[in-house]
Homo-oligomer: A and B are copies of this chain.
Amino acid sequence: MTTPHSLDQAIALSATGPHTYSGATSPAYGNMVGPFGGVTAATVMQAVMLHPERLGEPISLTVNYAAALADGPFTLTARPVRTNRSTQHWLLEITQPDAKGMPATVLTATAVTAVRRETWSVDDEPMPVVPAPDGVPRANMAPQVAWPRRYAMRFITGAIPERWDGQGDSSLLQMWVRDEPGRVLDFPGLTALADVFYPRVWLRRARPVPTGTVSMTVYFHAGPAQLAATGRGWLLAQARGQVFRNGFFDQTAQLWNEAGLLLATTHQIVYYKE
């Protein structure tokens, strides 16, 4: 018997009712406060994937981080609120007990799944021309938190600043990235990778101010077969901010597989201090 991948351990859920699961945060994906938000989003996606009433495959997911998830157990509810002929709409929530032991909302999410059919298709955002993964040095990071060690990152542009001198001029990041150790790509894995970028404002300002993602949306453009074919390969991940204003910035990002297929486009809005 082999040990499950650390991501599969982190997103493991036990059904406790028709629409209810219990889970627990994983120290392997620890962040400054609580867990890496990408793994929390992946856990939400996992609930959808596990649900016996699911119709089709993921099309979109929006996760709102309502409060810092405390390290430890949590309750996740996943409810299909509308099932049509080929699309299904989901409402999801994570709760943890508050100071009085009452369940308090720490995350809300919505998701759409659908039965996809083959149609006319085109990629209009071609993968940028970049050096192959082998030609890009591995990032020499000594992260103070656990989760970045769960990913191999090779920065093409926009590596974490070596000097926090306030002299940044661009928020563009491009990197090759994959789970470490390797893991065959699936929807929870891709969901976590959608949040793999360190905060855009750190790069844009070359200043590590406190930040926290408030809401993240992922659009899935690939089916299960395309994810499985991507396997344990590298993804090209690109992210940039469009506007930083009065405490919140946005991030727009894309994830391609090595063959150049755009697997997911994703956006988030992030709080920053100062």
* A contact set with B: CB distance below 8 Å: 59-60, 62, 64, 66-67, 81-82, 84, 87, 89, 91, 93, 104-106, 108-110, 112, 114, 116-125, 170-171, 204-205, 214-215, 217, 219, 221-223, 240-248, 250, 252, 254, 262, 265, 267, 269, 271-274
Contacts of A269 in B (CB 8 A): 59-60, 112, 219
Give chain B residues whose Cβ lies under 8 Å from the Cβ of A274.
119-120
Q: Tell me how many chains of this kind the complex includes.
A: 2
Chain B residues within 8 Å of A93, by CB: 81
State whether A219 touches B267 (Cβ < 8 A). yes
Judged by DSSP, the binding face of A is strand
In the complex, chain B residues whose CB is within 8 Å of the CB of A252: 252, 265, 267
- Can you add 5 more A-B contacts, CB < 8 Å, to A123-B245, A242-B262, A267-B267? A59-B248, A64-B110, A81-B108, A119-B246, A121-B244
> Given that A110-B64, A215-B62, A269-B60 are known contacts, is A223 also in contact with B246, CB under 8 Å in the complex?
yes
